Structures are given as C-alpha cells and as structure tokens.
Amino acid sequence: MTTPDATHAATGLPQARAYLHPLPVRIWHWLNALGFIALILTGIQLRYVDLFKLMSFETAVHVHNWIGFAVIANWFLWFFYHLASAEITNYHPDLDVKAFFARFFRQAQFYAYGMFVGEKRPHNVQPGNKFNPMQKLTYQFIMFIAVPVTFLSGLMMWDVERFKFLISAVGGIRVVNTVHVIMFIMFVAFIFVHAYMGMLGPRPSTHYKEMFTGYEEPHE
Amino acid sequence: MKPGLILGALLLAITLQAVAPAVKAAEDQEEIANPDLKCLKCHSKNLSKKLEDGDKMSLHIDGAAFASSVHNEIGCTGCHQDVPNVKHPSRQPIATLRAYSVARNEICSECHETQHEDYKQSIHANLVGQGNVNAPVCSDCHGAHSIQSRKGSEPVNGEPCSNCHEDIHQAYAKSVHGRARTEGNLIRNKAIRAPFCSDCHQAHRILALADTEYLVPICIDCHEGARLAHEQWLPNAAMHMKSVGCAVCHAPQAELRVNLQLYDRVLGVPVKQTLSDAEVQKILGEVDTDGNGLDPLELWKLMLNVDTRAQSTNIRLRGRLEVSSRVDAHRLAASTEAIRSCENCHQDNAEAFQNVTVSINRPDGRKETYKADRKVLSSPISVDSVGSFYAPGGTRIKAFDVLLVLALVFGPAIPLGHWAWGRYLRKKNNRS
C-alpha cells in the first residue's frame, strides 16, 4: 500500500497538506493558552500578595474568577466539539496497552536521542491520529482529569457556601484548595515544557504555524 | 399627793382608755385597706436576722420605695405568700444571703413565667446552677423591693448589666452604638434606636457566645441591607459572613484569633463537652506533651483521639475568625471605619492568624479553649484536621511554595537541559 506522500511524489503533484487542527480547536487552544497564563498570573498574585502587588487582592479575585469561567466555558466548547466531530479519535485510548507503551518508549527515546542524530520520527502525524503516544497520554490526563479537577476545585472555592456539601464530602475547603494549588503548580511547569515541545518539530516554528493555520507544515 | 393631781391623772387615764380603742380601730381599718402597713410596722425598723454563716440579713424595707415600685400593686404577700400561713417571725434558719436569694428566685416565675423560662436557658441561670455566687438571680438585676418598670427606661449607664460587666459597658459606651444612644438615641433615619445590651443579647435568655453565629442574624435584624451590601463587593460573601464574626472587620482595633471549634458536621452543631474538665485536660496533656500549645502533629493526634472516642469521623474542627476579647467585640466602629482591605487577612503572617485556639463547648454554652500553634493553619499535616478553614494567601501551606519554586526552576530547566543535550549530541555526531 502506498502512502499519500509516495503517491504525490509519484504523480509529481504538490503534496496535499493534512488539515490537522480545525478552527474550533485552534480557537479553543489559543483562548485556553491565554486563559491559563492569566489564571496563573492572578493565582500567583492571590497567593503572594505579600511579595508583590500587580493588582489588589480583591481585583485579582474578580479577574481570576471571570477568566476561570471563560476557561471552563472554553473547555465545554472543546468537549462538545470533540464529541460532535471526528476530533475525539485523537484522544481514543489504545486498547493494546503493551504496544502503546512500546511506542511510548520509542517516542521518548526519539526525544532523548534520535531526534538529535537524524532518526526518522516514530509517529506519523495524521488527522484523527495527530498525537504521538507521549502527547496522547499527556493530553488525555490534562483534558479529562487535570483541567476538570482544576475547574471543579476552583468552582468550589468561588462560592464556598453554594458548594458546601460537595466541599464537605471531599474533606473540606483546605483539601479543595490543596488540590487546586497542586494542579496550578503542575500547570506552571507544563506551560514551559509545552511551549518548548512545540518547538521540537522539523523546524522550531513548524508546530506553532500549524496551530495558527490548521494545516500540517511541510516536514522536509 | 394633792387631790387635784390625782383627779387629773384619773381623768387622763379614763380619757385615754376611751380614745385608745378608737385609735386602734382607725389603724386596723387602715391596715385592712393596706395590709402592707402591718408588715411595715416592723420592717420599717432596722431589723436584721442572723444567718447561719454568721452574716446578717437586713429585714428593713423602705416603705416609700416599695410604695413607688411596680409591685406595690400586689403587696408584700404577693411574693411572700408563705408569711400569713406560718408563724411569723419565722425561726427557720437561713444558710446564707445568697441561698435565700436563689430560693426566692422561683417566686418570680409565678407571674413572670415567660421571662423566667427564658432566664432558665440563660448562661446566668446556668452559672447559678453551677454554684457561681456572682451569677445574677432576678433580684440582682431588678432589685428586691423597689422594682421599677423597664419600659421606657434609658439605661445609658448600662445598668444593670454594667454592675458586673463594667469593662464591656465602657467599650460599648464608646462604640458607634453607645455614642448614638447617648448623643440623641437615634441613628440613621432617626426612627431606629441604637441598641443597648438587651437588644443584641436579649433581656433574659442571655446565651454564652461560644456559638457566636447567633449574633450575625441579630446584627442583620437592624442592618438589613448588610448582606446585600457585602455581596456587592466581597467575594464569597456568604462564607465570610459565616466564618468571620461581624466585629472582626467592624471593630478595627480588636485583637483577633482563629478558633477551631469541635463541630458535628452531620448534625451541623457544635459538639458539647461530655467529659469532665479534668478528663479533657488529661487528654490534652497526653497529646500536648511539651505543654506549649497544639502543634500540627499534636492537633492531628487529638483529632484521631476524637475520632476513636466518637467512633466516627463526623466530628471535625470548624474554623472561625473572631475577636479575642469580649470587651473588644463591643468596640464597634462606624461602617466607614470598618476594615475593607482583603490584604489584612489574605497575606502571609497576617495578624489575624497569629492566635489560634481549639475549643469545645461546655454544656452551658461557654467555650473551653486550648492554645494551638499558628502553624496548624499552614502545615500540610493539618490538611485534614483543619480541613474547614482556609484563607488564600493568609494560611497558605508553605510546602507548596517550595513546589512552586521547583516548578518555576525545573519548568524552564527541563527544556534548557534538553536543548543543551541535543546540542552536545549533534556536535558529537558531527565529529564522528
């Protein structure tokens, strides 16, 4: 069976670029990025008002709350779009766990060594299967666990009285806050790594361009 | 003796003999019309009775004061119903003046049933029952024989409460309420009277303030717009109004503390102490071995002990920010002077979180408090034991500050390391 690349090479036609990131996904992604950066900054302000003061605590609370609601709404946009389209296949779990982790470690090996010595990329990016195993596991965790846990804990802290039964059921407001803060710290580290991983394409700008245009950039 | 003198004396005796019954009859008529006069015949004198403790009880009654009292209407036997039926003066011994006052207290309930029922639930009655000789009975506040109607009275001097709570009255007198009361007695739209003691604490059902929650609705009774006003600017207003006492912000000079109260989260009520004080102290002594207040680990052990005794995990610590001293709680300022800055509490080392106590409610409603280390508010060990109290920034868990620093260091360090590693491998590869 010939690959699309081989077909285009054989016919001499320009290679058709895969449409990897539909518009709703791109809108969601960049709004989410801006939202998370704003939430992290206002979150740091809330937590460390004694160390620096970009804004008053009261303003930081209001801004944090409003952006939080926007990010939650944005997550639902992402969620329902994925449910209603083929995009969800990117997140389908691999049922063959052994094979999945074999590819996972091959990908890790590529990032750790192969990419610097000219090895071929182990994952062939395609619409519906655009994430390599490392990305897939990370984004499954981020989108289905980390983000919902963060916004649920944030919602509980937004109105403690409204959610008092839920708060009590999970062990109290301090437990809720602890979970929220652990997620916040994880996202702080994630943002740096995520931004850097975006530069690990064929060229540093490749994945960034793809995330703006939606189309796969030429890899050679 | 001269015959004239003898005759004169005889005439006088005959005259007196004739007039005396008439005078006695007139006196009897008066006593029938006002039987109290019969009592006053003796009790207007400086009589006293020796008590078993060696003290003396005055039996003197100021007739004029009694006549002007509201009880003049019911007369002496209205309260001293037993007197006509027993030999009087009675030879029954009386142990102490206090014992007599406490025993007479019940008489008031015959007419003032509602007030007496309220009183019986009060901390005052509770303390009387515990044998506290300073706790007031009816006559301590109302007097015994010169009782005046309190309707329309203007107790700017704080009486009778100030007789025992003078320090609190002094604080109240200088407060926004006290000043409004003395400077015209009117506030806001000039139709509402500024409150004095019984307006907030009630006249007879005076409760101990271990559960100060009940005062918030009382404040709201007059300040009906307060809830809405707070909701307009204060994030989590409902939670703040539940976990932070009004005086915390509205008595800006007051010293604050966080009280962690043992609370039944299923029943939604504070836990009442069932063990004796000695047993409680023994448990605390076993946990707080160094005796310098409960540190995070000791508090965690204490809660384990509570769980074991209660055989459930329903009893938790409920945190409330409150004013440390009862006196300070009465130094309420005008709303324009209230603390409105969130940073007052929501920052590291905030003054509000320097004092921490753990408390259990005594059966009478008073708090039994025990000192705790302020670290219990910011230790990861306390995530469970102090689960219900958290102020962002102010009681943040320091261990997470370290984690955040690590994230800020390793977040960029991992990409930098990877980039450097790649550079090294490429160079090595090019060379080979």
Calpha distance B369→A39 (Å, rounded): 40
Calpha distance B292→B200 (Å, rounded): 36
Do A173 and B387 lie within an 8 Å CB cutoff? yes
pLDDT at A126 over 90: no
Calpha distance B307→B354 (Å, rounded): 27
Of the candidates A87, A179, A189, the residue with the CA atom closest to the CA atom of residue A138: A189
Least confident residue range of A154-158, A160-164, B30-34: B30-34
Per-residue pLDDT of A101-120, as tens digits, reads 999 999 999 999 999 988 99
Give residue B135's identity as a one-letter amino acid code: A
Contact residues on chain A for B347, CB-CB shorter than 8 A = 49-50, 57
Q: Identify the closest residue of chain B to A118 by CA–CA distance.
A: B426
Question: In Å, what is the CA distance from B366 to each residue of A31, B122, B154, B272, B430?
Answer: 54, 11, 29, 10, 81
Of the candidates A197, A196, A198, A195, the residue with the CA atom closest to the CA atom of residue A209: A198
Question: In Å, what is the CA distance from A171 to each residue of A149, B242, B259, B321, B386?
Answer: 15, 18, 19, 20, 10
**Which secondary-structure segment (H or E) carries B270?**
strand B269-270
Dig out the tokens for A193 from the structure: 């790594």
| HEC assignment per residue over B177-236 | HHHHHHCCCEECCCCEECCCHHHHHCCCCCCCCCCHHHHHHHHHHHCCCHHHHHHHHCCC
Dig out the tokens for A159 from the structure: 């109105």
Of the candidates B180, B160, B168, the residue with the CA atom closest to the CA atom of residue B209: B168
**pLDDT attached to residue B297:** 93
Dig out the tokens for B250 from the structure: 């509205």
Do A62 and B235 lie within an 8 Å CB cutoff? yes
Residue A192 has its nearest CB partner, among B389, B393, B411, at: B411
Do B392 and A174 lie within an 8 Å CB cutoff? no
Question: In Å, what is the CA distance from B395 to each residue of B23, B216, B234, B383, B392?
Answer: 86, 24, 19, 11, 6
Calpha distance A155→A149 (Å, rounded): 10
Per-residue pLDDT of A30-74, as tens digits, reads 999 999 999 999 999 999 999 989 999 999 999 999 999 999 999
Q: Identify the closest residue of chain A to B241 by CA–CA distance.
A: A161
Give residue B243's identity as a one-letter amino acid code: S
- Chain B contact probe: residue of A36, A49, A62, A119 with most B CBs at under 10 A: A49
User: Which A positions 36-55 lie with beta carbon below 8 A of chain B?
Assistant: 44, 46-50
Calpha distance B105→B79 (Å, rounded): 10
Q: Please give chain B's pLDDT, 432 residues, in tens.
A: 566 667 666 666 666 565 556 556 555 566 555 778 888 888 888 888 899 888 998 899 988 888 888 888 888 888 888 777 777 877 888 899 888 888 888 889 989 999 999 999 899 999 999 889 899 999 888 888 888 877 656 666 777 888 899 999 999 999 999 988 887 666 555 567 788 888 888 889 888 876 556 567 788 888 888 999 999 999 999 999 989 989 999 999 999 999 999 988 888 888 888 888 888 888 888 888 888 899 999 999 999 988 888 888 888 899 999 999 889 999 999 989 999 999 999 999 899 999 999 998 888 888 888 999 999 999 999 998 898 899 999 999 989 999 999 999 999 999 999 999 999 999 988 887
User: B340 with B252: CB under 8 angstroms?
Assistant: no
Angle A147-158/A173-197 helices, nearest 10 degrees? Answer: 140
Of the candidates B43, B33, B51, B38, the residue with the CA atom closest to the CA atom of residue B100: B51
Do A192 and B238 lie within an 8 Å CB cutoff? no
**Which secondary-structure segment (H or E) carries B256?**
strand B256-264
- DSSP letters for A143-176: IIIIHHHHHHHHHHHHTTTTTHHHHHHTT-HHHH
